Amino acid sequence: MEPPTRPATYLGTMGGKRLGDYLRARREIVRPEDVGLPPGGRRRVPGLRREELALLAGISTDYYLRLEQGRDQNPSPQVLDALARVLQLDVPATAHLHALAGPPQRNQRPAEPDHVSPGLQQLIVTWWSRTPVAVLNRYMDVLASNAMAASISPIFQPGVNVIRAAFLDRDLRRLYLNWDEMSSRAVAALRALVGTELEDVRVVELVGELATASPEFKRLWVRHDVSPSGAGVARLNHPDVGELTLQYERLTVAGTHGQLIVVFHAEPGSPTAERLALLQAETTGSELPQ
């Protein structure tokens, strides 16, 4: 498969402009009133003007312009922290800003295909039968899953790319009641997983494909949101057992290049826990617990 013909349009990260693209994207998200400036006025672009951001960060407008245009790629940690403060970046986003200002990372991905270790494979298969579990790689491909994960959503079948399915499979929008929240979190998580290795050919192909096919993905990707958060809530309208409200945890697999275990669980005694028990019985053909 050939990479997209205009990857820079979608990635915005080639050459020395990775830092500048990130600063521009985040600057356009911050509203003047968010940083104590009067709202309104005639603005050609949303968000802060360059000179406003520079003033609030305590640097010259010319210096900030050089950063955003990629003409200065060696800002001090103090300057980066000042910019992060004005841009209201959280801890993961601030760390990402510092990483973008550092030397480009080469992709250290192993040459062999991703695989799940035999021990981990056995663990997820034998995990408590009412617990949906899946293993993803850093590109959000499903490497392995147990029967319960596949039963709550077709997205958790080995070989499926979760983020591609989220934006290109229209049926998932009917399955996930909080699709907007889940999709935005997925894009931010992908940013966090690939970090600054955005010239990885697989990333270029995946982002180019999705940005071309899905306006929603492209809108979210160019925001440059970064979220390695390992927890969240998924709300599903399951066709067999009805509404499910599931907590999920993403756990990093040590000794791998970005593999994650995703575990879904329900609050004990909740309607979702009862429906998971029913789904487990239907999936395995076992008796419901008394």
Please indicate, yes or no, whether residues 203 and 270 belong to a single structural domain of this protein.
yes
Please indicate, yes or no, whether residues 279 and 200 belong to a single structural domain of this protein.
yes
Please indicate, yes or no, whether residues 144 and 279 belong to a single structural domain of this protein.
yes
Percent of the chain with pLDDT over 70: 87
Residue 75 lies in a domain: yes
Our count of domains for the chain comes to 2
Phi-psi bin for 132: left (phi > 0), alpha (psi -120 to 50), beta? beta
Please indicate, yes or no, whether residues 95 and 125 belong to a single structural domain of this protein.
no
Start-to-end CA span in the chain (Å)? 53
- With a threshold of 0.85, does the pTM exceed it? no
Mean pLDDT to the nearest integer, 172-178: 90
More confident: 231 or 107 = 231
**Residues in contact with 227: Cβ distance below 8 Å, sequence separation at least 6, in sequence order:** 92, 185, 188, 189, 191, 192
Residue 119 CB neighbours (<10 A):
7
Mean pLDDT to the nearest integer, 63-70: 92
The boundaries of the domain holding residue 137 are: 118-284
Mean pLDDT to the nearest integer, 89-102: 91
Please indicate, yes or no, whether residues 128 and 234 belong to a single structural domain of this protein.
yes
Tell me how far CA of residue 127 lies from CA of 145, 214, 264, 275, in angstroms: 11, 36, 12, 18
Residue 1 lies in a domain: no
Polymer length in residues for the chain: 290
**CA 24/CA 195 separation, integer angstroms:** 18
Query: Tell me, what amino acid is at 188?
Result: A
Please indicate, yes or no, whether residues 136 and 62 belong to a single structural domain of this protein.
no
Residue 113 lies in a domain: no
Mean pLDDT to the nearest integer, 90-96: 92
Confidence of residue 39 (pLDDT cuts 50, 70, 90): confident
Structure confidence by residue, pLDDT tens digits, 192-243? 888 887 778 888 899 999 999 999 999 999 999 998 767 899 999 999 999 9
Look at strands 242-252 and 142-145 and give their pairing. Answer: unpaired
Residue 227 near residue 185 (C-beta atoms within 8 A): yes
